[in-house]
Each structure stands twice: as C-alpha cells, then as structure tokens.
Amino acid sequence: RLGYGDQPFIVFKHRDIAREHIHLVSTRVRHDGSKIRDAMEHVRSTRIMRSLEAKFGLLPSQKKAGVSVKPSAVEIGAGDIKRQVAAAVQYVLGRYAFQSVGEMNLLLTRFRVTAEEVKTERKGRPFDGIVYAATDTDGHKICTPIKASEIGRQVSYATLRRHFEQSKSVVRERAGAIRRAIADVMQTSPDRAEFIDRMRGHGIETVLRSNAAGRLYGITFIDDANGIAVNGSRLGKGFAANVFNAYFAGEPNPFLEMSRPKEKEEQTAAVEELTESPNDMPPTEIDLSLQVHGADLRELAFQRRLRNRARVRLRRKPR
C-alpha cells in the first residue's frame, strides 16, 4: 500500500527500551533506479498502521498508559544491562520534574543507576554529553559506562537539557507543598533523624549530604506525590543547605523566627482595632491590653464591639 511490496527488506529485533520491538528497513529506490513516491508518507503509513492494529487486535501505539510501569532496580544477572538502564532513565524522565543531573541521580539511585556529565571536544569544538552506568547498593559503578547515544535520543544530553528547562515552571507550581511541610516540621526543632522521619510523614523524602567532617553541604527533597525532586536552594535562600547546617550545628531555629512577623502583624491589627475609639475604653484598660497577646487581644476587641452595639440599642430604644 505504500509501494514497497516488491522492495528488498530486513527485519531485526530491538530492545533499547523497556519493551521489545522490531524494525523493518527497506529502500526507496526501485531496481530500475526510480524513486518510490514519499509524499505524505507519514500520514499514509499511520493510516495503514491503524488498520493493521484494528485487524489483528494490536495495542494502538498512541493509546499508551498515562503513567509508565515502574521498572525494577537493575540486576546484573538479569542480562541486557543497557535495556534495564534505559528503562530506569525513561521512567524517571517521564515521572519527575528536576533541574539538574544531581537531582536526577537521586531518583536513579532507587534503580541502582547513575548518570555522569561528560565534557570533551568533538572536531575541535566543546562537546557536552552524558553517560549512564549500573551501580551496586552502595552506589559504586559495576559496569562500563554506557553512552546515551548507544541507548537513544530519548535519554540524550539534549533531551535532559530540555527536561531541565521544562521542569522550572513545574517545580515553581508544586514546590509549595514542600515549603509548608518543612515549616511545619521545623516548628518542633527536630534533630537530623527526626527531621527526615517527620518529612517522610508528609510524603517527602529528604536526602542530606555531608562531608567527612559532618558539615551539611547539600539537601534535596523528593515529593513523589507531586513528581518533583528539588534542591533546598531552589525553594529559597531560607531553605538552603547552609541554613540547615547552621541549625543542626546548634544555632537558633530560623523557622521559628520566620513565623513571628505574622504573629506581630496580627497583634498590631488587634491593638489598632482596640484603640480606634479610645473614649469607649478607659486608658488604663488600653494600656493593659497592649500587654496581652494574640487571642486575648481579639477576644477583648470582640467584647468591645458587643458593648458598643448594646449602647446603640439603648440609645435607639423608643420612649
């Protein structure tokens, strides 16, 4: 139907991704040297594929599941390491938003895979690339690094760069849940272990990275529900690793300080409300109210409004 019926062809099985598939390769040049018409070939071939899928009950390629199947961690004994690595990388790219290779690697660690940026030269020009490798449970590489080009464009460095850029808006939209969880957990002034455990209670995995001296130099949060992995510094200066390092080293909890301005604003608003009509309240009562905090101020303001309403009703009572 495409005009290739009399053309030579070869068929080979391919497993560069999680599913096994086949490729059919032919030539567009006939035996007499003429060319087979290729106008609108993609549209025509798609129609043919759809009819074959319907005829033989095949799964339509465009009706893929909304969420890809989570692959297992790489097992050397299972063979075809390249296919296993590719499945893990593609799953992470399809499931999570992140903005760096480091953030991606924390996700790949779950599948015993690591990625590494490669900077070299090609034809005298700087060239950036990416290689992948399987690891053991401690993160040590256990196979020869695999170039992205050996797997496919879907895991290439260019694809990663596009993913990083597209993830910016996604992270901005979804990072609020992580900030709120951190602020909530930090109200209890936890130690490192308690912080990680309580963040996990919010559905967020926390990865702390420290040097040999115990200094915290990196902190990353993984929110599986919202599909993001983000370094603390991307959440704002107040969430960077150096802030947590100072806190865990014994300095005052900065998150308690962050909550005080709001409390002060509420108290100021309540005081202003109390002092709008100073004639309604003796000066000594106003002075005392300034020493009351939070809910007490609001309660006094409410009581004052009730007294004012009662006075108005008494004045309007018919004689």
pLDDT tens-place string over residues 96-117: 999 999 999 999 999 999 999 9
Q: Note the pLDDT of residue 165.
A: 96
In the chain, where are the structural domains located? 9-56, 76-170, 175-251, 260-316
pLDDT digits (tens, 9 = 90+) for 206-254: 999 999 999 999 999 999 999 999 999 999 999 999 999 999 999 999 9
- Backbone region of residue 316 per phi and psi (left: phi > 0; alpha: psi in -120 to 50; beta: other values): alpha
Q: Exposure string (b/e) for 174-201, b if CB count within 10 Å is 16 or more? A: bbebbeebbeebbeeebeeeebbebbee
The more confident residue out of 139 and 127 is 139
Confidence of residue 205 (pLDDT cuts 50, 70, 90): very high
Nearest-5° Cα angle at 173, 172 to 178: 80
Location of structure tokens 């200066």: 237
What are the beta bridge partners of residue 121? 126
Does residue 293 register a pLDDT over 80? no
Query: Using the 8-state DSSP alphabet, how is residue 4 labeled?
Result: -
Start-to-end C-alpha separation, the chain? 102
- Please give the mean pLDDT across all residues of the chain: 81
Top pLDDT among 54 and 130 is at 130
pLDDT score for 74: 92
CA distance 79 to 62: 29
| pLDDT number for residue 156 | 92
Residue 252 burial by CB count (10 A; 0-12/13-18/19+): exposed, middle or buried?
A: exposed
Give pLDDT, residue 230.
97
Q: Give yes or no for residue 307 having a pLDDT over 90.
A: no
Supply the pLDDT for residue 48.
82
- Position 5 confidence tier, pLDDT thresholds 50, 70, 90: confident
Q: The tokens of 118 are what?
A: 């490669």
Which of the pair, 41 or 259, is modelled with greater confidence? Answer: 41
For 246-255, the pLDDT digits (tens) are 999 999 999 9
At 65-100, the pLDDT tens digits run 444 678 999 998 888 889 899 999 999 999 999 999
